[in-house]
A and B are shown apart, each in its own frame.
Chain A
């Protein structure tokens, strides 16, 4: 085993050196000519008479802040939220799985992830133009390549976009950890993550979010050609502001498949498996709420009206969901619990994610209130129906909340229901206005949800199979009973 690691490490080091050298050459040879697809917005094609737009410092400052906030969501927020819910003997294993998965994905993102997700390729995958982030920065000229936003003439340094999106990829993978916690082998987690990230996260991010950017739409004649370059679900017209499909449904379904494939914990349903530290879960949920402002309001890509709308929606819908979960639990289960309030907050945050900048205040009220109740059903009745041991309810909260949010986005985006609608014509910037059809948008949203569910389920299933063949998914029964902390990591979380 150790030998294999050494060999892999050696190859990685060699590959890295070669690639860096090549990337440097490439950057020096043709700096801005090969603009990133995400930035085809690119001033590169613009007539030389008009000066290239420069990034607004306010936008850059907001996006860097948002990026740091999303990092906070994974570590420590998600790690603590999850960690508090497992038994004390498995605390460190959850923290480690989140911490290392986060770092692993950030590294893969900078090697090939960003390139595959956010450069022009086909409707499902991008290209290898940005391997090792080559071409984002020209060290000779000191040029930073631009990335498009949602407004004409407004750009960001592409590296800001790279970093912001890196945090999304990383937290999505970290979310899955909750489903198979307390019994999976650590090496299996890492193998699964590499495969699933590459073949599910990247293509779905590309399908939903990749497009040529608003500045490219200069002439009505170009529209069809430009649209054809975008991701498949983008072309279809799916609305996903900050990741209902890409992040939550994607991770939630992968988690459920994992819960089936890894199998139930020993003693599931017979022994008490109560959370060992709910204060930590509360701290985690609260930090998630704070970080989510970066996630949702940051997804506006500018510090402007859209960010403001996403911010208040994220604030309001979450508060609504805390109340609806708490009161529903009080009514049906007898007592309003802290775990319920914390879960309600996360359910609300998940559901408002695809809707954040796509709905108005009425949408935030309804989506938030619905999320608390529907996700409470998701972790009770639905969980029993599914019969899987989804340890921390990744499916019941993230997939269920994500599906609810994605569908209701199609409803409450309508200007008739207080939503902003969407840009109907990127050449003129005309909004859809009263022509918005809730029914047809709902169909589009449902298709995007369906595609995501099937895609991630298949990829996850294969990824677990491979991890099982290579190292085995589960630890031994004895190790599981003793706890993963001491057996997988050689440490104990608490000393008395």
Chain B
């Protein structure tokens, strides 16, 4: 099992969700996050005061998947979240040791 974590542009969330559903990913978790990467922040001007905003809002999605789906999932995220501009985000892949469905007590790939 793998845990795929992707940081994407917030407005791309719907497209990414649709792409993942289409290839059979049954669930994802979404968090609103802030951070910085190579994309520069922006400046905000309030009357006389100018502030540089370093942390930009992004969305983090997490999906626990079967190992054999990994290539498909990565490709789906890459395609759907891509705008070609700086700041599109990143995908991280982790090994997932165990998964448990709380309601039934199923474990492993059964629980995904």
A274 touches B48 (CB 8 A): no
A339 touches B51 (CB 8 A): no
Report B-chain residues with C-beta under 8 Å of the C-beta of A396.
47-48
Report A-chain residues with C-beta under 8 Å of the C-beta of B46.
85, 274-275, 337, 339
B48 touches A272 (CB 8 A): no
B22 at the interface (CB under 8 A from A): no
Bound: A379/B49 CA distance, A:
9
Contact with A along B42-83 (1 / 0, CB 8 A): 001111110111000000000000000000000000000000
Contact with B along A329-358 (1 / 0, CB 8 A): 000011101011001000000000000000
Bound: A451/B44 CA distance, A:
39
Contact with B along A51-82 (1 / 0, CB 8 A): 00000000000000000000000000000000
One of A272, A334, A335, A393 near B47 (C-beta < 8 A): A393
Question: A370-386: which have CB < 8 Å to B?
Answer: 379-380, 383-384
Q: For residue B53, which residue of chain A has the nearest CB?
A: A272
One of B45, B51, B52, B53 near A333 (C-beta < 8 A): B45
Bound: A379/B47 CA distance, A:
6
Whole-angstrom distance between the Cβ of B57 and the nearest chain A Cβ: 14
Report B-chain residues with C-beta under 8 Å of the C-beta of A337.
45-46
Q: How many A-B residue pairs have CB under 8 A?
A: 30
One of A85, A335, A383, A384 near B45 (C-beta < 8 A): A335
Q: For residue B49, which residue of chain A has the nearest CB?
A: A273
One of B44, B48, B51, B52 near A384 (C-beta < 8 A): B48
Q: For residue B45, which residue of chain A has the nearest CB?
A: A333
A339 touches B47 (CB 8 A): yes
Question: A224-281: which have CB < 8 Å to B?
Answer: 272-275
Whole-angstrom distance between the Cβ of A372 and the nearest chain B Cβ: 13
A274 touches B44 (CB 8 A): yes
One of B44, B48, B51 near A380 (C-beta < 8 A): B48
Bound: A343/B49 CA distance, A:
14
Report B-chain residues with C-beta under 8 Å of the C-beta of A333.
45
Please list 13 pairs of residues, one from A and one from B, whose beta carbons are closer than 8 Å in the complex, sorted by A's number: A272-B51, A273-B49, A273-B51, A274-B49, A274-B51, A337-B45, A339-B46, A340-B47, A380-B47, A380-B48, A383-B48, A384-B48, A396-B48
**Taking beta carbons and an 8 Å cutoff, which residues of B are in contact with A?**
44-49, 51-53
Which 3 A-B residue pairs are closest in the complex by CB-CB distance? Answer: A272-B51, A380-B48, A379-B47
